[in-house]
Amino acid sequence: MAVRKVRNHIPQDLALLVLSKLPLKSLKRFGCVHKPWSLLFENQYFITMFGTNFISISHSYYDDTSLILHQVVYNKSRRTVSYLHLLSSQSFENRLKLDLPTPLQQEDPIFYIRGSSTNNGTLCLSNADDSTLVLWNPTTDEIVVIPSSPMESVSPYWSTLISFHGFGYDRVRDDYKIIRCLDYFPLSERDLFYLNLPEEAQSEKIFYDNVWEIYSLRCNTWEKLDVNMLSDTNQHILYTNDGICHWLNNDDRLWLVSFDLSSYVYFTTSTPITIPTRDANFKYGMAAQSVVLNGSIALISWYPKTTTFDISILGELGVSESWTKLFTIGPFPFSIERPIGAGRNGDIFFKKKGVSMEMGFEPLEFAGLFVLRMDLESARVSGAVMVVFGVCYAGAAALVCCCSAFLARSI
């Protein structure tokens, strides 16, 4: 009887193929098993193969989702207005304007999207001065007006700055939650004069520390959190992934801060500067934005006034060494202001700077949503979609797509 020889060596090509399909967190751990595997991301062939699989594998995060675009423009009457549009089709050519919930239906309203839940498409919206905060489901048109908190006004001599840091779904308790930070500042002499308040009261030297609060829809109450987290200093994109809210802080260096809506535990992850110095005489610092790319946390980093972007993926929260740069995209032959989000199939959404045009009475500026679409074979950009909405006056600070593009369940 012939004895079959069992091969105890896995061919290199087969090993790379299998490893390229693993999640990044698992792949990093495999580097401890076999030393050459710890150097895989120095192999450009493997990086391309891993990136292709990363983009092509569908993720449940995007199941039954649609793109909702927040548009802020100056109209012909020189008034600032906000709109919501539901975008559909691969090229995002089809759009449907959504009617705002009743509490926000004012003349020329300005509102902000504070977050979205991919659980059932609920959006968290607020008006310009944050005096009205609502949860709104565009599918059912169900509206919940969030009550105010006693911590919003601690003293008539102090003003309160409210910074929203996230909204999402708590799967453990079947609850929707909002997290925010309240900072307090003494009123100026001018404010005291207009409010007819005595300046002597300020001599008490009372100081109020900032306060973190979390709102529970199930309990319909705000609760003070006993945490000392780094607050958001970016204010462009706040997002929630798997019940964890994320934001960026760059007080001393760039940090990713992540807060679990179920356990109230937070993580801080330092972010590496992944951009090489492309110009020795470059005088501008690095800019960065964090998004959810195909279900994973991604950091998009670039130098201002350039159009080349590096994309790194985080393998594990709290482990700075698990950041891995996968893609470099660009440069592009037009100006891009910043990324505003990501969608299915590796789509990355950017706010594109407008082109001034003469319209008969004064220059107007068109601004649009620019979409980078990754190629599944080469993990490089294969196409771009330019979607133009509305008109903005040149030089306006608030242009189309100025806040964000959000994913929400199909409606």
Give the model confidence (pLDDT) of 46-97 as tens digits: 888 888 888 877 766 666 667 777 777 666 666 677 778 777 766 666 778 8
Decide: helix, strand or coil at residue 317: coil
pLDDT digits (tens, 9 = 90+) for 332-352: 777 777 787 777 777 788 877
Range of the domain at 129: 23-409
> Would you say residue 5 lies in a domain?
no
> Would you say residue 10 lies in a domain?
no
Local confidence band at 128 (pLDDT 50, 70, 90 cut-offs): confident
- Residue 302 in contact with residue 286, Cβ under 8 Å? yes
> Would you say residue 325 lies in a domain?
yes
> Would you say residue 329 lies in a domain?
yes
> Would you say residue 206 lies in a domain?
yes
> Would you say residue 268 lies in a domain?
yes
Q: According to the model, what pLDDT value does residue 42 have?
A: 78
CA gyration radius, the chain: 24
Decide: helix, strand or coil at residue 10: coil
Local confidence band at 129 (pLDDT 50, 70, 90 cut-offs): confident
DSSP assignment of 112-143 equals EEEEE-TTT--EEEEETTSS-EEEEETTTTEE
Bridge-partner residues for 71, per DSSP? Answer: 83
pLDDT digits (tens, 9 = 90+) for 142-175: 889 999 988 887 776 777 888 888 898 998 999 9
| Helix and strand numbers, DSSP H then E, in the chain | 4, 25
Query: In this structure, what are the phi and psi dihedrals at residue 394, rounded to the nearest 5 degrees?
Result: -60, 140
Measured distance CA(186)–CA(165) in Å, rounded: 23
Measured distance CA(335)–CA(342) in Å, rounded: 19
Highest mean predicted confidence (pLDDT) among 54-63, 246-255, 260-269, 317-326: 260-269
Residue 218 has pLDDT above 50, yes or no: yes
Q: What is the tally of structural domains in the chain?
A: 1
Q: Measure Cα distances from 311 to 255, 270, 296, 402 in Å.
A: 16, 15, 12, 21
* 30 vs 409: which has the higher pLDDT: 30
Mean pLDDT taken over the chain: 72
Triad 327, 333, 338: Cα angle to 5°? 60
> Would you say residue 216 lies in a domain?
yes
Measured distance CA(70)–CA(277) in Å, rounded: 34
> Would you say residue 11 lies in a domain?
no
Residue 394 is part of a domain; what is its CATH number?
2.120.10.80
Measured distance CA(299)–CA(324) in Å, rounded: 10
Q: Which ranges of 298-381 would DSSP assign to H, the alpha helix? A: none
Measured distance CA(401)–CA(337) in Å, rounded: 11
Which amino acid is it at 92? F
H or E segment and range at residue 12: helix 12-19
Q: On the CB side of 21, how many CA atoms lie within 13 Å of its CA? A: 7
Decide: helix, strand or coil at residue 56: helix
pTM, rounded to two decimals:
0.77
Residue 377 has pLDDT above 60, yes or no: no
Measured distance CA(314)–CA(297) in Å, rounded: 6
